[in-house]
Amino acid sequence: METNIYQSDLAIHPGELLEETLEEIAMSQAELANRLGRPLQAINEIIKGKKSITPKTALELEDVLNVPAHIWVGLEAEYQMIKAKEEEQKQMQEESALLSLFPYLELSKLDLVQKTRDVLVKVDELRRFFSVAKLTQIEHVKSYQPAFRVTNKKTVSHEAIAAWLQAGKIKAETIETQPFDHVKLKTKLPELKTLMHDNIEDATQKIRQLLAECGVAFVMLPHFKHTHVNGATFWLNSREKAVIMMSLKGGFSDIFWFSFFHEIGHILLHGKRELFLEDGHCDPALQKQEDEADMFAKDLLILPKAYSTFLEQHDFSKQNILSFSKQMKIKPSIIVGRLMYEKIVPFNDYRLCKLRDSYKWAKE
């Protein structure tokens, strides 16, 4: 006897087909159990959808019922897939409660996730963006864990920091660079320092080109709300490409250039296994490296001996700062920013605040 089987678009548990087939040929479940050499309970559980049809069972059913094994296997696979998708939809609905933790709008503006209002699509897009099966797994992924160790800001969003880092990683992977060259990077420092006199758009383009020659991918990204991050340094898996990420948080030029050379300090001074988040966002165990990167940036921007001599003058007038900046061939804002940071002059000194110029973000 040959049975014609037509597959519909609906997911059908193979147990339903088995029950219908037995009715058509007037075979009881007990008889089928005897012919298969299986317990009656096992047959009953298949029909009720409590037990799956394995490939071995499918082959045996083909022999007994003359229904091709691929029909049973196909129905089982389709049923299990639909069942899994239903569970997935339920899980995504639960995860949608986490969406407010992520800077979805910022990511969509960078074309890193789909622009949509559908919360389930957003969940799916974020999973793809982070390469995780569940959003709750993000903090357990090694490359994102530094973002979840930040505790020095009450308003910080660990998920936003993780998103900022992942966005930078994706952008960095598209930047072509030479293999990392430690010596070449050191020789480029004087030239990189001169770029602070250019406008920020020209400066960042030249920085990207010079660093690419040294094996460093330079990524500029907008500051994401609740990240409080100026910059970050890490290495891609190849270990032949370092990455420097920068934002324009705060806007002041002195903050940008200090942060930039701070990140270079990490690359030149420290290993390739750590991820450094600038602006104090680091694992306490890495504070020593942070201090070293700070000192590297300070000494590179302003020669230590010259700075000591300048401080000894106790003349922090606008004219003297301009004269010293010209001597050091740096922006006056570098000097003013450091004096303010070290509390030598107040942050609200109106005369000196005029020397701190600001940068504005322009999307590349």
Question: CA of 280: how far to CAs of 118, 203, 232, 284, in Å?
Answer: 36, 25, 11, 9
Position 271 scores a pLDDT of 80
121 within some domain? yes
In the predicted structure, residue 10 carries a pLDDT above the cut 70:
no
7 within some domain? no
d(CA 329, CA 323): 10
Please check whether residue 314 is in contact with residue 261, taking contact to mean a CB–CB distance below 8 angstroms: no
Please give the structure tokens belonging to residue 109: 């503006």
Q: Judge if 312 and 280 occupy the same domain.
A: no
182 within some domain? yes
Q: Judge if 350 and 232 occupy the same domain.
A: no
Q: Judge if 266 and 326 occupy the same domain.
A: no
What is residue 252's three-state secondary structure? strand
Position 5 scores a pLDDT of 41
Please give the structure tokens belonging to residue 102: 């992520």
Q: What is the mean pLDDT of residues 210-223?
A: 95
d(CA 234, CA 244): 7
**Counting beta carbons within 10 angstroms of the beta carbon of residue 88, is it exposed (0 to 12), middle (13 to 18) or buried (19 or more)?**
middle
Position 287 scores a pLDDT of 84
**Counting beta carbons within 10 angstroms of the beta carbon of residue 143, is it exposed (0 to 12), middle (13 to 18) or buried (19 or more)?**
middle
Q: How many domains does the chain have?
A: 4
Please give the structure tokens belonging to residue 100: 């407010």
Smallest Cα–Cα separation from 331: which of 261, 232, 231? 261
154 within some domain? no
Q: Looking at residue 56, which CATH number applies to its domain?
A: 1.10.260.40
Q: What is the pLDDT of residues 321-359, one digit of tens each?
A: 999 999 999 999 999 999 999 999 998 888 899 999 988
Instruction: Note down the domain range covering 318.
Output: 302-364
Q: What is the mean pLDDT of residues 143-168?
A: 86
Q: What is the pLDDT of residues 271-319, one digit of tens each?
A: 888 888 876 455 667 788 999 999 999 999 999 999 999 999 999 999 9
Q: What is the pLDDT of residues 37-89, one digit of tens each?
A: 999 999 999 999 899 999 999 999 999 999 999 999 999 999 989 888 888 99
pTM: 0.82
8 within some domain? no
Q: Judge if 66 and 123 occupy the same domain.
A: no
Q: Judge if 45 and 57 occupy the same domain.
A: yes
> How many C-beta neighbours within 10 Å does residue 172 have?
21
